[in-house]
Amino acid sequence: MSATSTVKVKVPATTANLGSGFDCLGAALTLYNQFRFSLSTREVLQIIATGAEADRVSTDASNLVYQSFTKLYEHLGKTPPPVQIEIAMDVPLARGLGSSATAIVAGLLGANRLAGSPLSPEEVLHLAIALEGHPDNVVPALMGGCQLAASGIDRDWEICDIPWDRSVVPIVAIPNFELSTAEARRVLPNHYTRADAIFNASHLGLLLRGLETGRSDWLRSALQDRIHQPYRQALIQGYESVQSAALNAGAHGMVISGAGPTLLALADSASAEAVRSAMSSAWAGQEVDAQVKLLQIDRQGAIVE
Ligand SMILES: Nc1ncnc2c1ncn2[C@@H]1O[C@H](COP(=O)(O)OP(=O)(O)O)[C@@H](O)[C@H]1O
Ligand SMILES: N[C@@H](CCOP(=O)(O)O)C(=O)O
C-alpha cells in the first residue's frame, strides 16, 4: 500500500466561554474552514488561501496552519516534509469564532495523517491545547458538540461532552471589525474576589443544566459572567444595543463569543429568526456592518480524509 500523499481536513468554527464557562467550555458550530495538505516535490513552502478574508493570512512559514504542522513533526523528533497547503476560509478571522483553533487543529491533524497517524486522538488534543493555550475552542473543534475541559489528576485533561438541547439555537452576530484574542485577554484582571468566583462557579453549573434542558429561566440567569465579559464589553462598539435588541426579541440571553467581537445569542426555535433580525437592525443602528446567522451545533468535529 502506498503512503498517503494528500490529506483533506474540515474543521468547525467554535463559540468559546458561553458566558460563565471562561477558558473551559465551548461548542462547535456549523461553519467550516477546509484544508488540503499535499506532499510536494518542491522545497519551497506553498500556501494558497481562498475565501473572503484570504488576503489577511500569511502565506510564509509564519502561517499558523504550517506552524502547527511543523510542531507535530518536532514532537515526533522528525523534520517536516515539503508540503503544499490549500486553505478554503469561511470562518472570519479574529472575531471570536475560533479561526485560530481551526488552523491549529488542521495543521496537527494534517501532519499526523501524513506521518502515518503515530499520535492518538488524545495526544493530538493535548498538543492542540498546549499550542492554543486554553482548551475551550480547540476541544470542540476537534470533537464537535459542546465540550467542557478541566485539568485532571489521572491525565492532563478531563473532557466532558455536555448535552445541548436541540431547541436551543445559536445566533451569531459577526461585526466587520476584528479583535484579537491576545488583545481581549490583556484587559482581564489577574485576581478576582471570592464573590466573583462563587458567582461564576454557580452560574456555570446552572448553564450546563440550562443547555441540557433548554429551560429559558435557567439559561437567562446562567449566561451571566463576572470573569471576562464586564472587562471586554467596552471593546465592542454597540454591545449594549445589540444585547437589548436580542433580549427584547425573546433571546434567553446574549454573550460574547470567544474573545469577541462576535456576539452570541441563544434562543428557542420559535424566537430565533426574530432575534436574528433584531440583532442585525441594532448593529446597523450603530453604523456597524454585521452578518447575523442562525447556526446549529456541529456534532461531528474535525473530519480527516
Ligand atoms: N486559516 C488560517 N490560516 C492561518 N492563520 C490563521 C487562520 N485562521 C486564523 N489564523 C491566525 O489566527 C489569528 C486569529 O486568532 P485569534 O486572535 O485567536 O482570533 P479567533 O477568535 O478568530 O481565533 C489570525 O490573525 C491568524 O494569525
Ligand atoms: N477563552 C478564550 C477563548 C478565545 O476564543 P477565540 O475563539 O476568540 O479564539 C478567551 O475568551 O480568551
The CATH number that applies at residue 133 is 3.30.230.10
The answer as to whether 109 is a domain residue is yes
Residues 39 and 182 both lie in one domain: no
Is 33 within 8 Å of 102 (Cβ atoms)?
yes
**With a 6 A CB cut-off, is 136 part of the ligand 2 pocket?**
yes
Q: Residue 41's pLDDT is what?
A: 86
| Banded pLDDT at 255 (limits 50, 70, 90) | very high
Which residue's CA is minimally distant from atom 13 of ligand 1?
100
Q: pTM above the 0.90 mark?
A: yes
Residue type, 157: W
Q: Residue 111's pLDDT is what?
A: 98
Residues 186 and 269 both lie in one domain: yes
**With a 6 A CB cut-off, is 11 part of the ligand 1 pocket?**
no
Is 286 within 8 Å of 239 (Cβ atoms)?
no
**Segment 153-167 mean pLDDT:** 96
Cell 486522538, located at residue:
121
**Segment 91-99 mean pLDDT:** 97
Which residue's CA is minimally distant from atom 10 of ligand 2?
259
Instruction: State ipTM.
Output: 0.98
The answer as to whether 242 is a domain residue is yes
Measured CA distances, 224 to 151, 183, 228 (Å): 23, 22, 10
Residues 190 and 256 both lie in one domain: yes
Number of domains making up the chain: 2
% of the chain beyond a pLDDT of 90: 97
| Banded pLDDT at 42 (limits 50, 70, 90) | confident
Cell 485539568, located at residue:
151
Select from 162, 191, 213 the last residue of a domain: 162
Is 94 marked as binding a ligand? yes
**Segment 293-301 mean pLDDT:** 98
Q: Give the distance (Å) from ligand 2 centre to CA of residue 96.
A: 6
Taking 60 as the threshold, does the pLDDT of residue 61 lie above it? Answer: yes
Residues 128 and 205 both lie in one domain: no
Residues 11 and 156 both lie in one domain: yes
Q: Residue 265's pLDDT is what?
A: 98
Residues 37 and 116 both lie in one domain: yes
Which residue's CA is minimally distant from atom 18 of ligand 1?
181
Taking 50 as the threshold, does the pLDDT of residue 1 lie above it? Answer: no
Among 85, 118, 103, 76, CA closest to 11: 103
CATH number of 224's domain: 3.30.70.890
The answer as to whether 281 is a domain residue is yes
Is 98 marked as binding a ligand? yes
Select from 129, 162, 195 the last residue of a domain: 162
**What would the pLDDT profile of 202-226 be if each residue is shown by its tens digit?**
999 999 999 999 999 999 999 999 9
| Banded pLDDT at 173 (limits 50, 70, 90) | very high
Residues 189 and 110 both lie in one domain: no
Collapsed DSSP state (helix, strand, coil) of residue 240: helix
The per-residue pLDDT of the chain, averaged, comes to 96
**Which three cell numbers mark 167?**
431547541
**What would the pLDDT profile of 10-29 be if each residue is shown by its tens digit?**
999 999 999 999 999 999 99
Bridge partners, 171 (sequence order): 265, 294
Spatial separation of the C-alpha atoms in residues 69 and 37, rounded to whole Å: 10
Residues 120 and 71 both lie in one domain: yes
Residues 28 and 144 both lie in one domain: yes
156, burial (CB in 10 Å: exposed 0-12, middle 13-18, buried 19+): middle
Residues 10 and 142 both lie in one domain: yes
**With a 6 A CB cut-off, is 258 part of the ligand 2 pocket?**
yes
Residues 83 and 142 both lie in one domain: yes
**With a 6 A CB cut-off, is 258 part of the ligand 1 pocket?**
yes
Cell 519551497, located at residue:
44
Mutation test residue for ligand 1: of 57, 97, 178, the one with most atoms within 8 Å of CB = 57
The answer as to whether 230 is a domain residue is yes
**With a 6 A CB cut-off, is 18 part of the ligand 1 pocket?**
no
Q: Residue 68's pLDDT is what?
A: 98
The answer as to whether 302 is a domain residue is no
**Segment 23-37 mean pLDDT:** 98
The answer as to whether 305 is a domain residue is no
Residues 154 and 216 both lie in one domain: no
Which residue's CA is minimally distant from atom 7 of ligand 2?
98
Spatial separation of the C-alpha atoms in residues 98 and 28, rounded to whole Å: 9
Q: Give the distance (Å) from ligand 1 centre to CA of residue 103.
A: 7
Domain of residue 100 covers 6-162
**Segment 110-129 mean pLDDT:** 97
Is 121 marked as binding a ligand? no
Which residue's CA is minimally distant from atom 12 of ligand 2?
259
The answer as to whether 120 is a domain residue is yes
Closest ligand to Cα 14: 2
Select from 103, 137, 162 the last residue of a domain: 162
Among 194, 218, 207, CA closest to 22: 207
The answer as to whether 192 is a domain residue is yes
